Amino acid sequence: MTTPDQLISHADPVRAGMPDEGQSHTRTWMAFGASQAIWGGMLAAVQTQLAAVANTIARFEPVSMLVRPNEMELARRLCHPSVELHACALDDIWMRDSGPCFVRQANGDVLALDFNFNGWGHKQAHKHDQRVAAQTAKLAGVKLKRSNLVLEGGAIEVDGAGTALMTESSILNENRNPGMSKQTAESRLKSLLGLEQIIWLPGIRWHDITDAHIDFYARFVKPGVVLVHLEPNSSSYVHAMTLRHLEILRSARDARGEALNIVLLEAPRNVRQEFRNEHFAAGYLNFYLAKNALIAPEFGDQNADENARKVLQELYPEREIVQINIDCIAAGGGGIHCITQQQI
């Protein structure tokens, strides 16, 4: 639970900026929170893949993993000894959404923002995960600010230079922020994250548990360069949405008033069948930037996987591209970015 000395009053001015994910991190936070109730027969495989992601990132930067007390032994067996484990009650694995977003204040201090996780609009139990942001801030040794917005870290994509990408479907949604206008949301987000410009994409409501988080559909490579997910399958419910996103981004301007350079990355046309289901999140943009590395998924589509590697290597020539099989995590509707959160 948050202690009084951790909390900063809502009335206090926040002169904060959220850096681009590619900037240096103190560590990566993850949550070893898969359960039988949610994951069923995939539980063991999900736990193995969570550990595989943690172990891969730990090759490049420190990793801290939240773990239920009764699963400490299992987590220690699966994780590399360098992965730091912390006891914590958990509901699930999605640290990007339940964990805090770290920002830097004008004086250089780091602040953890709690965006009041509510299970993506009360779609899933979140009794424990709604406390994860505060607990993580305490473990990280940084002050916590509770926002008066409800959203998730996966709903935010920034370029580190004053521009953000967000979807209306996940933030301007009655299941998170009932009755809130776009103008009010923008004002609060700009203050909290140090933004000058928010480019809104429509997204789509109710088709996935996140209501179309931005981190699956559009990511900044650097200021002025945006990597965009394109769904080639015209029968997919997101096909038209990805085309609409592309149309908006091609006419958008960033905080500098500059047009965006758009790079397209197609979803795989085929994936391995073992864990494929209606929730399977098959896309390459949900990668994670660790120190000197980019950790990305691969889905068994040789051509698409290789194309993704090539595109990502061209965009990030200074980073090692590491592709991992995360099929179980994808079957739960998420990816590598969804299970990680960087501490600056």
The residues assigned a catalytic role are: 338
Burial level of 130, CB count in 10 A (0-12/13-18/19+)? middle
Among 318, 270, 265, which Cα is nearest to 287's? 265
First to last CA, the chain: 22
How far is Cα 315 from Cα 318, in angstroms, rounded to an integer?
Answer: 9
Are 54 and 324 within 8 A, CB to CB? no
Chain centroid to CA 326: 15
Give the residue carrying structure tokens 């864990």: 275
Are 289 and 277 within 8 A, CB to CB? no
> Alpha carbon of 249 to those of 221, 245, 252, 284: distances in Å?
14, 6, 5, 19
How far is Cα 81 from Cα 69, in angstroms, rounded to an integer?
Answer: 17
Which pair of tokens denotes residue 203? Answer: 């997204």
